[in-house]
Structure 1
Amino acid sequence: MSSVTNIFLTANKSVSQWQSDNLLQIIDDDIYIYLDDNDLFPLQSIQKAGRSIEKMGVKNAHLQGDSWKADSQWAFALGFTCVDKLTNIEFNGDEDVVSKLNDKLAVYAWSRDLTNQTPSQLTPLLLAEKAQKYITTQAPEYVKTHVISGEALSEQGWTGVYNVGKGSVNPPCIIEIDYNPTGDDQAAVTACLVGKGITFDSGGYSLKSNEGMFHMKCDMGGAAVVAGALALAIRQGLKSRVKLILCCAENMVSNNAYKLGDILTYKNGVTCEVANTDAEGRIVLADGLLMASENSPTLIIDAATLTGAAVAATGGDYTALFSLDQQAADQAKKAATSENEPLWQLPLAKWHQDKCPSAFANTANSRPIPGGGPGGASNAAGFLSRFVDGKGWLHFDLAAAYNGSANAQWGAGATGLSIATIANLLLSQ
């Protein structure tokens, strides 16, 4: 096929005989996606078509014809794009539609590529640096950053990030990126985004298996998603002040690594016994949530590839949503629906805080059984809820953030799912 292939979307059968009922129909060098009027999930079918077309060896897709709408073009883009082809699409429509789709594609490509990088390419401080550079590029005059790394984390009381990352030769860090387009240094912070940035997760002394560790370069996917969400919101005209907080560390085994039975004391006085060093995401996010809460924003969103339990509950097809504020959760679900991103709310109540008990501290970070036991995703969210007021707080457990291998809808690697949903929430504040 040529280097650029024209892709048409149609409800009319363009061919006969053996191709007549196929989702994909080929005429000369053009490809037609045939959608039956009775298709109950047309966007999903278009995404699957995009995946199939990429596997044919198409290098660049040019969407042609009048049938393409913004949502159908984006569905195609999600299926077609993959490693080394993250931006290889020419969109269709008026200038405004094409511009918005190109902005969205560029941000998702950056976030997905960041998540796909190897642990040697992306150490904690490099993750912070790349996020800072990308956000600053969006609006250089409105961005300020502050980084706390290494021993300074311990000295300033950021015990979670410090302890999870102290076993690595690559020092941990927290970066705070302040986007303030108001021109007023005293302006209220309307929202804070907190991202889990574990650039590699060995599991620590609760060591993962080879299979479980193989894809753990993706464990900073939460940081990539919230950074991408802020970048997209800025491109879409964000006018309010937002802070992005990334909690970055490598969870490694060494003579200096944190250990089972250690007790951590957080800035708010909560003590935590380490029952599982592989439940490190919630340990670092606690610091990020405390830092976010210091700003008294109306909205706090954290995002993390946090629990296998969320993947088991959703099949890896949805982002799992948790909140103690049902109004905020309903807003998130509405935003996800408008962006055509799968989001599913799972149970969370105040009493989930007590689901990881400790005889020696206020709480443990997990339960010392595989997967944290029943309700593991809710229990993790319950742990996090100790570090926020609860009102206006949303926890995104990114169960659909990464695929170890390609499937019918996605290429292998990061998906970027929930970037648009979170950006939508920022713009609605």
Structure 2
Amino acid sequence: MSDVMKIYLTEDAPAAHWGSADVTFTAGQANIHLQGGDQLRQVQQAARKLRGQGINEVALEGALWDLHTQWAFAQGFATAKQIGKIAWTGDDAVKKVLDDRRDSAAFARQLINETPENLAPVTLANQAAQWLTKVGGDKVSYRIIEGEALLEEKWIGIHSVGRGSERPPALLELDYNPLGEDAPVSAALVGKGITFDSGGYSIKGSEGMLGMKCDMGGAATVTAALGLAIKSGLNKRIKLFLCCAENLISGRAYKLGDILTYKNGVSVEVVNTDAEGRLVLADGLQAACETGAPLVIDAATLTGAAVMAVGTSYNAIFSPSRELINRTQEKASAVAEQVWPLPLEPWHKEMCPSAYADTANSRPVKGGGAGGASNAAGFLWRFVSDDTQWLHMDLASAFADTANGLWAAGATTHGVLTIAELLQD
């Protein structure tokens, strides 16, 4: 008998002696009993239960498994310590898609779950660049701008947020170009790469700071999405910008009341040093728009307000373009991920007023006040070119602080597939 547990899906009810159990066992196998409603959620929950019983290696068997159910199982089966071994079922094409997803998600999980001591800003930039070079080969080129060199190129936001740390901030500029030197850029990706967020002088409490190694989840998400798209045969030129910094307190740290004047001339009063993500993304968005890309996508663990609005099973999305919002929802649905649009209107740009600058980086109230996620998106909009289609993804579902019925504690990688699909479009 094989030592690997075989897992079957069944639409049959469990035998009476199992009561209402959704997972039952017979010799050498487990049966996941599908019911009405969201069957992908049921499969993911069943995978969590099986993993919680100490099962580390499984083989998916039977006719009811498809691409979506197998990936839902994989997401529930992964933990921060080990993604687990899964033998897929189906034809070679399905298995390749699942292998590519697993490899890309494993890279993102490793980055997000890494200790902040081991993942300095320059380390994050280097690891992302090296992995994408491994995936894309000689079609990938990059440079890393770090420390005082950021000021020379007027990337004021990344430098200001990261200058309080002994380890320098950095901007990764990466070019995936399978088409030749003069090819136009089809899309640009921007990721928030705050490798640890203490809150700065607007310091977080311990309970809010504990999980802040995840604050580079946006950088990991867009990197993994680009890698997955390349593995899937992407034949477009894409640029990637990771805005990497540690938000720490020291005699060099940026302060409340500081005014930052960005490359595009917008001046920003700092009223909350814990609203640092938008300050670094402002640089990344300007760099992305300078490429002339018609589509710019940024991803960030940006606001607690997004979590309050959509919970932890959805990522919040924002765009001035209704067409892009609809397309993002369609792409997310096609890969069984969850996104939900929140309001973004031109007046959201004015929702963080300042008496001293063009805008403040937040409102001087807890959590940024009412509509905080939309106000943050409105702030970012100031740094996007008028002729650019822009999508902002606030990653409410990128990280689980504690284990729950769907996810182990740590990175979820939710959002990677949606962005990869948008790149392929």
Q: Which amino acid aligns with 1:258?
A: Y
Hey, what does 1:5 align to over in structure 2? 5
Deviation of the 1:274 alpha carbon: 0.3
SS at match of 1:387: coil
The answer to whether the 8 A contact 2:56-2:84 is kept is no
SS at match of 1:26: strand
The answer to whether the 8 A contact 1:194-1:300 is kept is yes
* Structure 2 residue 349 is the aligned partner of structure 1 residue 353: yes
Hey, what does 1:422 align to over in structure 2? 419
The answer to whether the 8 A contact 1:62-1:89 is kept is yes
TM-score by length of structure 1 reads: 0.97
Write out the 4+ residue segments of structure 1 that deviate beyond 6 Å after TM superposition.
none
The answer to whether the 8 A contact 1:87-1:105 is kept is no
* Structure 2 residue 397 is the aligned partner of structure 1 residue 400: yes
Query: In 2, distance between residues paired with 1:2 and 1:172?
Result: 51
**Structure 1 residues 22-31 or 397-406, which shifts more?**
22-31
What do residues 72-121 of structure 1 show as CA deviations (whole Å, max 9, x unaligned)?
A: 11111111111222152111111111111011011111101110000011
SS at match of 2:254: coil
Hey, what does 2:181 align to over in structure 1? 185
The answer to whether the 8 A contact 1:9-1:34 is kept is yes
Hey, what does 2:111 align to over in structure 1? 114
* Structure 2 residue 275 is the aligned partner of structure 1 residue 279: yes
Hey, what does 1:247 align to over in structure 2? 243
SS at match of 1:139: helix
Deviation of the 1:3 alpha carbon: 5.0
Q: Which amino acid aligns with 1:35?
A: L
Hey, what does 1:33 align to over in structure 2? 32
Hey, what does 2:40 align to over in structure 1? 43
Q: Which amino acid aligns with 1:175?
A: L
Deviation of the 1:135 alpha carbon: 0.3
**Match runs of 1:292-371 below 5 Å:** 292-371=288-367
Hey, what does 1:173 align to over in structure 2? 170
Query: In 1, distance between residues paired with 2:310 and 2:17?
Result: 37
Hey, what does 2:380 align to over in structure 1? 384
Hey, what does 1:58 align to over in structure 2? 55
Deviation of the 1:310 alpha carbon: 0.2
SS at match of 1:264: strand
SS at match of 1:356: coil
SS at match of 2:380: helix
SS at match of 2:382: helix
**Match runs of 1:115-264 below 5 Å:** 115-182=112-179, 184-264=180-260
Q: Which amino acid aligns with 2:321?
A: D
**Structure 1 residues 280-289 or 88-97, which shifts more?**
88-97
Deviation of the 1:330 alpha carbon: 1.1
The answer to whether the 8 A contact 1:108-1:416 is kept is yes
Q: Which amino acid aligns with 2:109?
A: R
Q: Which amino acid aligns with 1:73?
A: Q
What do residues 297-320 of structure 1 show as CA deviations (whole Å, max 9, x unaligned)?
A: 111000000000000001111100
The answer to whether the 8 A contact 2:190-2:243 is kept is yes
TM-score by length of structure 2 reads: 0.98
Q: Which amino acid aligns with 1:211?
A: E
Query: In 1, distance between residues paired with 2:41 and 2:127?
Result: 32
- Gaps spanning 5+ residues in structure 2: where? none
Equivalent pairs counted in the alignment come to 424
* RMSD over aligned Cα atoms: 1.2
What do residues 276-323 of structure 1 show as CA deviations (whole Å, max 9, x unaligned)?
A: 000000000000000000011111000000000000001111100000
Query: In 2, distance between residues paired with 1:94 and 1:253?
Result: 53
The answer to whether the 8 A contact 2:260-2:269 is kept is yes
Q: Which amino acid aligns with 2:15?
A: S
Deviation of the 1:237 alpha carbon: 0.5
Deviation of the 1:151 alpha carbon: 0.3
Deviation of the 1:188 alpha carbon: 0.4
Query: In 2, distance between residues paired with 1:207 and 1:171?
Result: 20
Query: In 1, distance between residues paired with 2:200 and 2:15?
Result: 59
Q: Which amino acid aligns with 2:409?
A: A
What do residues 124-144 of structure 1 show as CA deviations (whole Å, max 9, x unaligned)?
A: 000001000110001211000
Hey, what does 2:17 align to over in structure 1? 18
Change (3 A) 1:2 1:80: farther
Q: Percent of aligned pairs with the same residue?
A: 50
SS at match of 2:31: strand
Deviation of the 1:12 alpha carbon: 2.4
Query: In 1, distance between residues paired with 2:204 and 2:9?
Result: 45
What do residues 49-68 of structure 1 show as CA deviations (whole Å, max 9, x unaligned)?
A: 11111101101121011111
The answer to whether the 8 A contact 1:87-1:106 is kept is no
SS at match of 1:193: strand
Q: Which amino acid aligns with 2:406?
A: Q
Query: In 1, distance between residues paired with 2:19 and 2:86?
Result: 26
Hey, what does 1:77 align to over in structure 2? 74
